[in-house]
Amino acid sequence: MAQLLRVQNFTVSRDGFGAGEHQSLERPFGHVDPGGMFTWAGATASWPNRTDPGGSRGLDDYFTRDFTHNIGAEIMGRNKFSPQRGPWQDHEWQGWWGDEPPFHTPVFVMTHHPRPSFTLSDTTFHFVDDEPAKVLDRAREAAQGKDVRLGGGATVIREFLDADLVDTLHVAVYPSLEVGSGSRLWESPDELLDRFHLDVVPSPSGVTHHVFWRK
Ligand SMILES: NC(=O)c1ccc[n+]([C@@H]2O[C@H](COP(=O)([O-])OP(=O)(O)OC[C@H]3O[C@@H](n4cnc5c(N)ncnc54)[C@H](OP(=O)(O)O)[C@@H]3O)[C@@H](O)[C@H]2O)c1
């Protein structure tokens, strides 16, 4: 079986932004409120950060459940990992996710400023300064036959799309939010239609799931 490179649950505003501007420690998504954007996922039974029982088990839950299904490694951009830019001031920052990151696999953080790997619970973070194809080779090897998730942000997703390395994308569009500036995935999903099939599936929660797979 081929090892796919999959984008899962990436959520964008109506105008195609995955995050706003001016990211900081207090505002991981910049001027965008992630609570609003991810309401669709947070309401599902399979949401990994759920603290109370319950949650919906409809269409949105299928996507949150699929987030971990057959995933053996993740690739993410440095700005998903950290609000710091440029050389690391120290190595104390270990991501936003606390002692139990939700990845449970090796994670490859793309950065021009590599630093030593470290492990938190069952997630090991590696820092790699390389071109997308080489990073994907490393992630595939680490995934031991399973698929690799491309975790975003939009900058690294665009890079892997430009290199034609992405096999499937699931993008949830949150239509009641317009962001205007920041980290943008697309102006329109139509940009990908020369290379991908697309199913567009509206959910009762208000988001519209876009599921792309290679032609
Ligand atoms: N909406 C969603 O579903 C979703 C999902 C994930 C993340 N996010 C949000 O998206 C934002 C981050 O997205 P972003 O587009 O700003 O940035 P990003 O894609 O997370 O990271 C971009 C950075 O990665 C490093 N990088 C990228 N390609 C590289 C290469 N080939 N070689 C070496 N380093 C490379 C560079 O960092 P350096 O040059 O600094 O090393 C670059 O500035 C955050 O706010 C995050 O919370 C949203």
What is the reported pTM? 0.97
Q: Which atom of ligand 1 is nearest to the CA of 130?
A: 32
Task: Give 99: exposed, middle or buried? Use CB within 10 Å, 0-12, 13-18, 19+.
Answer: exposed
Average pLDDT over residues 193-197: 98
Is there a domain that residue 133 lies in? yes
Q: How far away, in angstroms, is 53 Cα from ligand 1 center?
A: 33
| Ligand 1 centre distance from Cα of residue 152 (Å) | 6
As a whole number of Å, the end-to-end CA separation of the chain is 18
Q: Tell me, using a 6 A CB cutoff, whether residue 155 lines ligand 1.
A: yes
Angle between the 154-162 and 132-143 helix axes, to the nearest 10 degrees? 100
Q: Is residue 169 part of a domain?
A: yes
Question: Which residue in this structure is represented by tokens 């194809």?
Answer: 133
Number of domains forming the structure of the chain = 1
How much distance in Å is there from the Cα of 77 to the middle of ligand 1?
Answer: 3
Q: Tell which wins on pLDDT, 49 or 147.
A: 147
The Cα–Cα gap between 150 and 153 comes to 9
Q: How confident is the model at residue 90 (pLDDT cuts 50, 70, 90)?
A: confident
The confidence score (pLDDT) of residue 33 equals: 85
Mean pLDDT of 94-111: 96
CATH of the domain at 49: 3.40.430.10
CA distances to 27, 47, 56, 58, 150 from 110, rounded to whole Å, are 21, 26, 34, 34, 11
- Residue 64 located in a structural domain: yes
For range 191-204, the mean pLDDT: 98
**How many angstroms separate the alpha carbon of residue 157 from the centre of ligand 1?**
9
pLDDT attached to residue 49 = 82
Per cent of the chain over pLDDT 70 is 100
Predicted pLDDT at 66: 95
Q: Which atom of ligand 1 is nearest to the CA of 18?
A: 1
Asked if residues 7 and 74 have their Cβ atoms less than 8 Å apart, the reply is: no
CA–CA distance, 162 with 208 (Å, rounded to integer):
24
Looking from the CA of residue 79, the nearest atom of ligand 1 is 20
- Kindly give the distance from the C-alpha atom of residue 161 to the centroid of ligand 1, in angstroms, as a whole number: 14
For ligand 1, atom 31: residue with the closest CA: 131
Distance from Cα 210 to the centre of ligand 1, integer Å: 21
| 182 Cα nearest atom in ligand 1 | 16
Q: Is 156 domain-assigned?
A: yes
Element at 101 (helix H, strand E): none
Q: Give residue 148's domain range.
A: 5-86+97-214
Q: Is the CB of 174 under 6 A from ligand 1?
A: no
Beta strand pairing status for 123-128 and 118-120?
antiparallel
In this structure, the number of other CB atoms found within 10 A of the CB of residue 46 comes to 18
